[in-house]
Chains A and B, each alone.
Chain A
Amino acid sequence: MNPLPSTATAEPDARTAEPALAVEHLSVDVHTASGTVRAVHDVSFSVHKGRTLALLGESGCGKSMTALSIVGLLEPVAEVVGGSVKAGGTDVLTLSRRARRKLAGPVLSIVFQDALAALNPVQPVGRQLGEPFRIHHGLSRREAREKAIELMRIVGIPEPRARARSYPHQFSGGMRQRLLIAMAVALAPDVLLADEPTTALDVTVQAQIMRLLRDLRAERDMAVVLITHDLAVVAEHADDVVIMYAGNVVETGPVREVFAKPRHPYTKGLLDSVPERAEKGKPLPAVGGSPPELSAVPPGCVFQARCPLARERCADERPRLTATGPARAAACHFSEELTSV
């Protein structure tokens, strides 16, 4: 099924090589009518080829904003105010708009959640899928069309030749998501970002799409950044995880280790909230309260208001992301207190 060597042999190699994407100390501000807020604060992570990193967090935590900064698609109200994003050997944040656009497709590419909004409604899908080849490789309309049909076949769209003439609204949600993935992988990017790629889909279709992404990652040796709020999806599909809360990274590390022994109370709270893991008929161990507004993120620890471990120090001093094991880190003053679940 999987044409690549098993991860056991691929892993040590991938760790020593240059990462396909390295984000360092990224900060993003959003300018609103009522002032400027920090939406992403000092976020760092890296992904190697053939691996999947999950950016996990709840709405407003800054995970999508991070992804949009990487691909250069931030809304005008948002602004990168610090840090670097290295891909394809350069810091893409220092490039001109024109130079950056050259990277969109062959180096960095993104799949959005809402496929209907991401596709052009008044153009046949075959034409849209052929566009990257015309722009980047200068192919003729006819050649690009053949490439598009080939892509549609690869992502599992039945009768691709006939369907290339159809418009986005003539496809089901699952098929549209396949089209979007096809377009994103058209130019064989080094890094594929997927922003909640299956959230709008039914579970049986969701499973198909995640399988497709996994197969493509293996075949094309891509680095994948999966942006999601779904812990179970992360457990199944990601190698490493970066957990964000109120714009900050609170914990990071290999998924298996982080989920088995969380070292940040927010990670633990999230894991405990999964109904699957709770005893039926008993209340779920919920995290009380809700995330702070970005305009009202407290000084000190961002999670203090909801944290069962919080004490004075947490109000005064923001915990730094500190190593809690090999390849693991958490931003909590008292993470040693969470040694067992």
Chain B
Amino acid sequence: MSEPTPLLEVTGLRKSFRVARNKAGRNRLTALDGVDLRLGRGETLGLVGESGCGKSTLARVLLMLERPDEGTVRYDGVDPFALKGKELLAWRRRVQMVFQDPFASLNARMTAADLIGEPWRTHRDLVPDPRKREARVRELLDLVGLRAGDAHRYPNEFSGGQRQRIGIARALALEPDLIVCDEPVSALDLSVQAQVLNLLADLQQRLGVSYVFISHDLSVVRHVADRVSVMYLGKIIEHGPTEDVFDRPLHPYTAALMSAAPALEPDGTAGGGDRILLSGELPSPLDPPSGCRFRTRCWQAADRCATESPDPYGRGEEAPDRHEGRCHYPLSLSPIGA
């Protein structure tokens, strides 16, 4: 079966930054070190990793806010970094973002209607008739579960969950194909978080939009993502269909991450069983370990791990349903704890 062109295909992405020299005299921070991603239409890709792993740099590259040093990004087969002028503007419309902090990301001096309609000032051909804009704002408010009467209220009159709905409406105003959601619910209370997750799922079904969903909360990612990529120090160390990755992780880091996350079983008891407790913390991305980057915290690291960077080990279907992990000694096929 020949595969249709994916909405988003990223290969071999590298990005480093110059920073102040550390004690060892290093000043190159490698944020992304050979990242591959693939995302189909109407799908959700979960991106998981701890702070400093490169998730946000990756998001910035996907939004074209950063130009990669190496590697390619293709949307519908087109490299956005090669576009100029009108074509570039048209491309930008198709990729939008929902931010983490609904308090910081909305201008306090603009009404909900202004905020939602603001993107049309740049993308003029989308709703060219100013008279139609008001109606369209109302549609968008309705779409995200706010009332038409909310259009003329200011951000401080809304709760955190409602503000995040405004942020989502603002992203949807440009009818994007892809929305990069950077920790979209982590600032929200649990009871409100569920409402926003439901809204995102509902919008995906109705509009066919794709999400790159960045989160540190594994239970959220498990619920929303079709596929998941796990990042560690600038590399994707495991990737695959969500259930496979969660139930049968290949990489020890993935297993440790899942095991460290507090879990709640349906009977109200704590899940997880025996913890894999990692010692130490993330090494500095200025001075990453040789060979496998995880070896300094890995309980099964051997000599080989210090010298050779592991190639992906895969199992299961061919891409995109293939489950791959970069480890010399991938974990067995049995679920953790069994």
A binding-site residues for B, Cβ under 8 Å? 58-59, 172, 174-175, 202-208, 211, 229-233, 235-237, 255-256, 258-261, 269-278, 280, 283-288, 290-291, 306
Which one of B160, B193, B264, B277 contacts A232 once the chains associate, using CB atoms below 8 Å? B264
CA distance A274 to B198 in the complex (A): 12
Residues of the A chain whose Cβ atoms lie less than 8 Å from the Cβ of B190 = 58, 229, 231, 270, 273-274
| Inter-subunit contact B189/A276 (CB<8 Å) | no
CA distance A208 to B280 in the complex (A): 9
Residues of the A chain whose Cβ atoms lie less than 8 Å from the Cβ of B259 = 207
Residues of the B chain whose Cβ atoms lie less than 8 Å from the Cβ of A260 = 267-269
Can you report 30 A-B residue pairs in the complex whose CB atoms are below 8 A from each other?
A58-B189, A203-B218, A204-B50, A204-B278, A206-B260, A206-B262, A208-B277, A229-B189, A229-B190, A232-B263, A232-B270, A235-B268, A236-B270, A236-B272, A256-B269, A259-B267, A259-B268, A260-B267, A272-B194, A273-B190, A273-B194, A274-B219, A274-B264, A276-B264, A277-B265, A280-B223, A285-B194, A288-B195, A290-B189, A291-B191
Residues of the A chain whose Cβ atoms lie less than 8 Å from the Cβ of B67 = none
Least CB distance from B143 to A in Å reads: 16
B275 within 8 A of A: yes
Closest to A206 in B: B260
Proximity string of chain B (188-218) to chain A, C-beta cutoff 8 Å, 1 when within and 0 when not: 0111111101100110000000000000101
Which one of B162, B198, B243, B264 contacts A286 once the chains associate, using CB atoms below 8 Å? B198
Which one of B202, B262, B266 contacts A236 once the chains associate, using CB atoms below 8 Å? B262
Which one of B218, B242, B262, B268 contacts A230 once the chains associate, using CB atoms below 8 Å? B262
CA distance A172 to B51 in the complex (A): 11
B271 within 8 A of A: yes
Q: Give 10 new A-B contacts, CB below 8 A, not counting A260-B268, A274-B219, A276-B219.
A: A58-B192, A207-B275, A235-B262, A274-B190, A275-B194, A275-B223, A283-B202, A284-B198, A285-B194, A287-B195
Which one of B198, B265, B281 contacts A283 once the chains associate, using CB atoms below 8 Å? B198
A-B contact count (CB 8 A): 135
| Inter-subunit contact B216/A280 (CB<8 Å) | no
Residues of the A chain whose Cβ atoms lie less than 8 Å from the Cβ of B275 = 207, 211
Which one of B194, B261, B262 contacts A287 once the chains associate, using CB atoms below 8 Å? B194
B331 within 8 A of A: no
For chain A, what secondary structure do more than half of its interface residues adopt (helix, strand, loop), or is it mixed?
helix
Given A236-B262, A259-B269, A275-B222, A286 contacting B189 (CB threshold 8 A): no
| Inter-subunit contact B159/A290 (CB<8 Å) | yes
Which one of A58, A174, A208, A283 contacts B191 once the chains associate, using CB atoms below 8 Å? A58
| Inter-subunit contact B262/A232 (CB<8 Å) | yes
Q: Which residues between 39 and 77 of chain B lie within 8 Å of chain A, taking CB atoms?
A: 50-51
Least CB distance from A250 to B in Å reads: 13
Least CB distance from A53 to B in Å reads: 16
Residues of the B chain whose Cβ atoms lie less than 8 Å from the Cβ of A284 = 194, 197-198, 223
| Inter-subunit contact B222/A276 (CB<8 Å) | yes
Given A259-B268, A275-B223, A270 contacting B277 (CB threshold 8 A): no
CA distance A79 to B51 in the complex (A): 38
CA distance A258 to B263 in the complex (A): 16
Least CB distance from A169 to B in Å reads: 14
Closest to B52 in A: A202
B161 within 8 A of A: yes
B298 within 8 A of A: no
CA distance A237 to B268 in the complex (A): 13
| Inter-subunit contact B268/A276 (CB<8 Å) | no
Given A207-B275, A276-B263, A172 contacting B281 (CB threshold 8 A): yes
Residues of the B chain whose Cβ atoms lie less than 8 Å from the Cβ of A202 = 50-51, 216, 282
| Inter-subunit contact A275/B220 (CB<8 Å) | yes
CA distance A233 to B260 in the complex (A): 11
Given A284-B223, A287-B191, A287-B194, A207 contacting B260 (CB threshold 8 A): yes
CA distance A56 to B159 in the complex (A): 20
| Inter-subunit contact A271/B268 (CB<8 Å) | yes
CA distance A112 to B229 in the complex (A): 33
B257 within 8 A of A: yes
Scoring B159, B202, B264, B281 by chain A CB atoms within 10 A of each residue's CB, the highest score goes to B264
Least CB distance from B193 to A in Å reads: 7
Residues of the A chain whose Cβ atoms lie less than 8 Å from the Cβ of B189 = 58-59, 229, 290-291
Closest to B242 in A: A280
Residues of the A chain whose Cβ atoms lie less than 8 Å from the Cβ of B219 = 232, 274-276
CA distance A270 to B193 in the complex (A): 10
CA distance A100 to B262 in the complex (A): 36
Residues of the B chain whose Cβ atoms lie less than 8 Å from the Cβ of A286 = 191-192, 194-195, 198
Closest to B275 in A: A207
Residues of the B chain whose Cβ atoms lie less than 8 Å from the Cβ of A288 = 195
CA distance A255 to B278 in the complex (A): 27
Q: Which residues between 110 and 169 of chain B lie within 8 Å of chain A, taking CB atoms?
A: 159-162
Residues of the A chain whose Cβ atoms lie less than 8 Å from the Cβ of B266 = 277
Q: Which residues between 63 and 115 of chain B lie within 8 Å of chain A, taking CB atoms?
A: none
Proximity string of chain B (260-304) to chain A, C-beta cutoff 8 Å, 1 when within and 0 when not: 111111111111100101100110000000000000000000000
Least CB distance from B29 to A in Å reads: 16
Scoring A172, A233, A284 by chain B CB atoms within 10 A of each residue's CB, the highest score goes to A284
CA distance A306 to B161 in the complex (A): 15
Residues of the A chain whose Cβ atoms lie less than 8 Å from the Cβ of B257 = 203-204
B256 within 8 A of A: yes
Given A236-B262, A285-B194, A286-B191, A207 contacting B281 (CB threshold 8 A): no
Residues of the B chain whose Cβ atoms lie less than 8 Å from the Cβ of A58 = 189-192
Residues of the A chain whose Cβ atoms lie less than 8 Å from the Cβ of B159 = 290
| Inter-subunit contact B161/A290 (CB<8 Å) | yes
| Inter-subunit contact A204/B260 (CB<8 Å) | yes
Which one of A208, A271, A273 contacts B193 once the chains associate, using CB atoms below 8 Å? A273
